[in-house]
Amino acid sequence: DAKTTQPTSMDCAEGRAANLPCNHSTISGNEYVYWYRQIHSQGPQYIIHGLKNNETNEMASLIITEDRKSSTLILPHATLRDTAVYYCIVRAYNTGGFKTIFGAGTRLFVKA
């Protein structure tokens, strides 16, 4: 699976959009980009995933560059409850096994 690179931490003002970048320059054609978040001491929570096209759901938007080497997770109106660690993961199913690498993620602080 491709490796991902994320900033260690970011700040965002409450009510503003939070834009979390992820670099995955070694991504291959059949690998999806997934985002999860983990609020303190809880289990990770799925946010969104995509392959090529931009995706949007009730939680967030995912923008994937045309060359698929990077992506951005957008929380359109961040709230204090969005303070969490956000993980960008690149995955493809293969019969060789699941070696999901969550990495250290980006710690997002939403400030009032």
> Interface with other proteins by CB under 8 A: which residues?
32, 34, 36, 41-46, 49, 87, 91, 93, 97-105
**CB of 16: closest distance to other proteins in angstroms?**
26
Q: Which is nearer to other proteins, 14 or 72 (CB)?
A: 72
Query: If residue 73 lies in a helix (H) or strand (E), which one and from where to where?
Result: strand 70-75
**Whole-angstrom distance, CA of residue 61 vs CA of residue 77:** 11
State which residue, 15 or 100, has the beta carbon closest to other proteins.
Answer: 100
Least distance in Å: CB of 72 to other proteins?
A: 18
How far is 23 from 39, CA to CA, in rounded Å?
22
Give least dist CB 34 to other proteins, A: 5
Q: Are strands 9-13 and 106-111 parallel, antiparallel or unpaired?
A: parallel
Nearer to other proteins, 58 or 112 (CB): 58
Which lies closer to other proteins via its Cβ, residue 67 or residue 95? 95
Rounded-to-integer distance, Cα 84 and Cα 18, Å: 12
